[in-house]
Every structure is written in structure tokens, then in C-alpha cells.
Amino acid sequence: MSDKKKAFPTLTRRGLLKGGAAVAGGIVGLGGFPYINRLAVRAQETPLKFWQFYAPGGPVASQVEWFEKTVADWNDSHPQKIELEFIPNSEYISGPKLATAFASGEGPDIFIISPGDFLRYYNGGVLKDLTPFIDEATRADFPESVIANRMVDGKVFGIPMEVEPMAMYYSVKAFEEAGLNENDVPKTWEELLEVAKKLTTPERFGVMFETQPGYYQNFTWYPFLWQGGGEFQTADGKSSFDSPATVQALKFWQDAINSGVAPRQIMGAGGHDTIANLASGYVAMQNVGIWGISQLQSNAKDFQYGVFRLPTPPNGKYVTVGGGWAFVANAKGRNSDAAGEFCAWALASKEQGSIDRVATWCTKGKSDMPPRNSALKAGGEAFSSGMIGTFAKEIHPGTRAEPRVPPEVYKIISDAIQQTQLGGADPQATATAASQQLDAFLSSYQGAPIL
């Protein structure tokens, strides 16, 4: 697969670039550089839109405060102003709002994306190259495992703000009611289902995995594929989805539903919502990421809980997935240079303020592992004590980066999960059919490398 050719499989080039093409045509037709200068002045007069799902009006006060302070500090020291625009999770992550905005030529100037959706926007030609705004020393401050899935041909197109490993959370109260304690924390898939059965009551499910289709569900399922040695593609770009590891991972999630210990329906905002699911008593154990710490601290301070590593299958190896969102700039936006400069200034500057900003996000704003070595050092004791310390010592060492895939690959895997988990389809037959679909797509794919 070539990493120099760009394919536009879901958002067409015509749709994605419609707004940019109109501006470019106007520049040529109205006399060149003087008009460009007028555009630049006009861009500075109009705030750049920064779409995300944290602020203002987000559910976690510390996260709202961090975003508002970051933008306010920038606005106090730069002529080009930025304005936060809050998009609810249901529309941003699970809905089509962001993709639809770009398809109509009205995408935001700055936004955030996960690795799972990187190729949709990179292949669509809308991501600004941020490399010119980042010096070499700062680039080296980001471990390769964290930054690689935001890069193409050695250029950086997204700056990560966090690393978010997945784990299992459990309710101490639910464990005690079932006569269990921390010594009963399951270490294998079989033990997890056994403990979940003991925790299941008429009012409560024993364990929960995400059931809503989307990039997030795929993200949470990958570790179960990897633990058995599975992959969705080979090194030479062919499908490897039809494997025993795939089949057992699909069957494990299916067994949790079929045995009645896991719910078919998720409460609240989704499987990433610890408040509506774990803290409410709807489930006793929940598969969720490190961000659950800040959710519970902000909205359920008295709730007692523990965390443990993802259990493993027979002859399997512990591994978890580390996702995380990244700042990106719209290459066709009103002032893409200022947007790119903001992304680097906020998260990837050599200045101490930038380092502290990342550390503060990961320790006070949210609860995450930092994407920069210097931010890990700046966070100090926060990463060696408490629940974040537990993640740092016990869970994070097994982290593997979230894959970046085109929308077609995501959809094939998502359909396989849904068909088996909720539809009752045979895991082996589903894996075989999905693998054939993957091969058909991968054989002609020409976008940036799938990682």
C-alpha cells in the first residue's frame, strides 16, 4: 500500500474541500497577495472555532476549566482569537456531526480526533501538517509509541494530549455484598465470567462491555483480540481476521451477554460513562479507561471502587489498548497557520507552560497518562500514588497504541462485533466473512498506512 497516494473513501474530496476550493478560486480571481492579506486580517477578526466535547458546558468541571484557561491564555497573548464550541459526546463521537461538517465544507478550524478516526480526515486532505510548529527536541519528548499513529511520512498531523489505557473497574460495595474482596479479582476470562455471575442480581449486571457500535466499541474490543495473539491485518497489508484469536474474542463478549451477566443496553452516555453504569449500581464491573478516575472523583466522590488489569484468555498475554485524543488543525480553515500554531503552543512547545499544561490535564483536568516524557516528570507524585499511580504501575506497562484504520475497516470490524455480541451470529462464520470483506478492501486501499 502506498503512503503517498491519498484515497477519499468516505468523505469525498469534492465535499471535504469545497470550502477551500472556493476560497482558492477567489484569491486567484481577485488579484493575489493583497487579497490574501485582507483574508488574513479578516481571519484574525473572526475567532477560530475549536470543536470538542469538554467545554463549555461539559459534565466535568475540571475539564471545562482546563479548556477555558488554555484558550483564554492563548487569546491574551495572540492576535488571532479562538472560541470553544461544545459538541455533546453523542454527536461528536457517536454521531456524524464532525464528518458531515467537513463534507459540506464547514468543518471547524481546530478539533480533536482519536487515532481510530485519523485516516478519515488525513485521507480526506483536511489535516494541517503541524511539523513546522514543533521543534526537534519537543518532538523527541513524545515517545514513538504515542506519536506514530498521528504521523505520515515523518510529519506530525496530530498532537496527543493524553494516553488512555483500558482496565476493569469494580464496585467495592457489590463485591462485599457477594462475599468477595480484592483477592477475588479475576485474572482470566473464565474467572471474570464466574465472578460476574456471583455479582449479578435482579437489579444489577455483573460486568459490562460496550454494546453501542462505534469507534469506541472497536477500541475497547482490540485488547481481547490482541491478548490471544490476533491481528486484523498482516505486515504486508492482508487480512488476518480469520483466526482463533478473533473467534475467541468475539465469543467471549457474546458469552457475557448470552449468560445474562452483561447488559445489552448501556446507561447514560455509553460504555465510557462510569457514573450512569458503575456508580449507579447498574453494573458491578465495567470495562473502561483511566478517565473513569476523574469522572468518579468529580461526580461520585463517595463511591468506593477498585481497578484491575484486563483478564487474559487461555495461553494469552496481558495487553491493553491506549487511546487518547489529539489536537488537530483544519488545513482548509480560515487561518490554518494560527490554528496549527495554537495546537503546538498548547501541547507541544518547549516552554514550561506547555509541559505543565499537559501534566495538569492528565492529573487535575482529567485522569490520564501523559503523552510527553517531560509532563510525566512534571506530574511528579501524581503518577506514583493513588488510583492514577495504580494505572501507571500495573496497567499502563501493557499498553499498545490504538490502531488507526479507514472507515471501511472500522465498519467491517464493528459489524462483526455487533453480529456476534448482540445478534447471536456464529463467531467463526462471522470472522471468516469479515476477513473476506477486509481482504477485498485492503487489496485496493491507497491511503496512508494503516497502523
Indicate the burial class of 39 (C-beta count within 10 angstroms; 0-12, 13-18, 19 or more): middle
Dihedral angle at the C-alpha atoms of 418, 422, 427, 433, nearest 10 degrees? -40
Three cell numbers written together for 140: 523527541
Task: Identify the H or E element spanning 286.
Answer: strand 285-289
For residue 192, being part of any structural domain is answered with yes
Residues 313 and 394 in one domain: no
CATH number (domain holding residue 219): 3.40.190.10
Residue closest to 348 by CA, chosen among 131, 25, 84? 131
Residues 277 and 206 in one domain: yes
Three cell numbers written together for 22: 472556493
What does each of the 451 residues of the chain score in pLDDT, given as a tens digit? 433 333 334 444 433 433 333 333 332 333 343 444 555 555 578 999 999 999 998 988 999 999 999 999 999 999 999 999 999 988 998 788 999 999 999 999 999 999 999 999 999 999 999 999 999 999 999 999 999 999 999 999 999 999 999 999 999 999 999 999 999 999 999 999 999 999 999 999 999 999 999 999 999 999 999 999 999 999 999 999 999 999 999 999 999 999 999 999 999 999 999 999 999 999 999 999 999 999 999 999 999 999 999 999 999 999 999 989 999 999 999 999 999 999 999 999 999 999 999 999 999 999 999 999 999 999 999 999 999 999 999 999 999 999 999 999 999 999 999 999 999 999 999 999 999 999 999 999 999 999 9
Under the phi-then-psi rule, with left for phi > 0, alpha for psi from -120 to 50, and beta for the rest, what region is 124? alpha
Residues 170 and 277 in one domain: yes
Residue 431 lies in domain = 165-322+404-442
Contact between 441 and 261 (Cβ < 8 Å): no
Rg (CA), the chain: 22
Predicted local confidence at residue 42, as pLDDT: 57
Residues 432 and 284 in one domain: yes
Residues 229 and 309 in one domain: yes
For residue 290, being part of any structural domain is answered with yes
For residue 169, being part of any structural domain is answered with yes
Under the phi-then-psi rule, with left for phi > 0, alpha for psi from -120 to 50, and beta for the rest, what region is 147? alpha
Residue type, 133: F
Predicted local confidence at residue 261, as pLDDT: 98
Residues 362 and 243 in one domain: no
Calpha distance 85→72 (Å, rounded): 14
Residues 26 and 88 in one domain: yes
Indicate the burial class of 140 (C-beta count within 10 angstroms; 0-12, 13-18, 19 or more): exposed
Residues 333 and 300 in one domain: no
Q: How far apart are the first and last CA of the chain?
A: 12
Q: Sort strands 399-401 and 320-323 into parallel, antiparallel or unpaired.
A: parallel
Residues 240 and 138 in one domain: no
φ/ψ of 112, rounded to 5, equals -125, 145
For residue 7, being part of any structural domain is answered with no
Burial 164-182 (b: 16+ CB within 10 A, else e): bbbbbbbbeebbeebebee
Residues 396 and 427 in one domain: no
Instruction: Respond yes or no on whether the N-terminal peptide bond of residue 34 is cis (omega within 30° of 0).
Output: no
Three cell numbers written together for 265: 443496553
Residues 232 and 95 in one domain: no
Total number of domains in the chain:
2
Three cell numbers written together for 2: 502506498
Three cell numbers written together for 144: 514513538
Residues 137 and 99 in one domain: yes
